[in-house]
Structure formats: structure tokens, C-alpha cells
Amino acid sequence: MSIDTAALIGDLVTEDPRRTRVLESYGLDYCCGGQRSLSEAATAQGLDPDRVAADLQLEGATAPLHWESSDLSGLAHDIVDTHHAYLWEEMPRLEALVTKVVGVHGGRHPELAHVGDLYARAVADLDPHLTREERVVFPAITRLERTQAPVRLGDGSLGEAVQRLVEEHDVVGDLFAEINRTTGGYTTPEDGCASYAAMLAGLQQMEQDLHLHVHKENNVLFPKVVELDRAVSA
């Protein structure tokens, strides 16, 4: 069965997570931009939607998938255990590596100062963002699911809190997209040492993990939360 180019990119990834690799290779945003159709996203990038659709038609069984069938609390726990745990461990390690590489190679590669600034801003945004999800928003989602009753937070509704998280995702996504561009797609220069290459590999891995992380929240978990919140508030 061929892929409909009118399908939303986020839905295509939810159906088969293996498609993330294809979309990454084309530079198509499936997380923050997951609510766009494949045709719209591809055309905006100057790509042929039909060609991208053909490449997304992967052979064989799809990877094991439980996101759509998971309950809200189960999906939230999966995000924390998989993606939050990775970030809490990796952010300080990579921060030290970025600082080292900027110090050693910054003279010959002045763009590294910008990379260091972008990464520091991303970490400064992610730290309170992850904390608020784990301590406030995700417990509220669990409570909403358990009680089937509206949940109010100290600074507004659950729906408003979710919308703020989505907006923060956009900011961090833009920061990593700029890191990607500044480093030439995470390309190690000829005079780059092993630490330089390791820094770029770490930044690339973090960006890719954030793409999947944000996809699970923006395109799977949060729409379900908003739908349930509206239903119990009606």
C-alpha cells in the first residue's frame, strides 16, 4: 500500500518509527513539524513528495510499537525512562566535552564559540523543562487519567501547560537546528581531533534523540491529553 502524501508526518512516524531515519536523511522535521502533511513539508524543502513517500515505504514488518495503544501514564513513564534519563546523563558529559573542544580548537574554528553558546542555551532551557514535566505536568496527566476529572495546575489549566511545553520544544529544536547548520551537518574538520569528532557525534545523537522524544510528546501524548481534558471538562 503506497503512502499518501497528504498524511501527517507525525502519523507516519507513529505508524513505523523506522521512518525517522528516512526523514532525518531528507532534513524533514517530524517532531515540532509533525502536524504538517508530507506533501507540504517536502515541497517547502524543495523535495519531490512522491519520491520521499516511496522511500518511506519500508519493507518488512514494522518495529514494535506501543505508543498509540499505551495509556497516558504509561507513555509518560516511557518518555521519562528513555529520553529524560538519557538527557540527564548526557547533558553534563557533553557540556564538558563542548567546553574542552571550544577551548582547544576555538582559535582555528571561531564558529565553535557559537556552538558552545547554542548548546549552553539548550541545556539552560531543557533543565527546567524536564523538571517541570517530571514534577508537575506528567503527574497531573496521570491524575487526569485516573480520576477522569479536570485537573488544574497552579498557573492555569493542563491544556495551557501542555501548550507551553510545545512552545519550549520549538525553541530547543531551533537551537539544535542552528548547531547542525553551524557545524556543517556535524562534519569534523580535517584538523579535528578525536574529542572534536566525539563532540559532534554526541551533539548529533542528542538532536536525533530529541526529535523522537518531542515526536512522542507533541504528536502522540499531548494530543491524547488535550482530547481527554476537553472530554472530562465538557
- In tens, the pLDDT along 79-136 reads 999 999 999 999 999 999 999 999 999 999 999 999 999 999 999 999 999 999 999 9
- Residue with the three cell numbers 563542548: 98
What sign has the CA pseudo-torsion 67, 68, 74, 79? positive
Residue 220 lies in a domain: yes
In the prediction, which pLDDT does 180 show?
96
Question: 26 exposed, middle or buried (CB, 10 Å; 0-12, 13-18, 19+)?
Answer: middle
Give the number of domains in the chain: 2
> Looking at per-residue confidence, does 63 or 57 come out higher?
57
Domain that holds residue 43: 9-56
What's the chain's Rg over C-alpha atoms?
Answer: 19
Same domain, yes or no, for 89 and 21? no
How many helices and strands, by DSSP H and E, does the chain display? 11, 2
User: Is 63 part of any domain?
Assistant: no
User: What percent of the chain is modeled with pLDDT above 70?
Assistant: 95
pLDDT-derived band at 233 (thresholds 50, 70, 90) equals confident
pLDDT at 207: 95
**pLDDT tens-digit series, residues 19-59:** 887 888 888 878 777 788 899 988 998 889 889 888 888 77
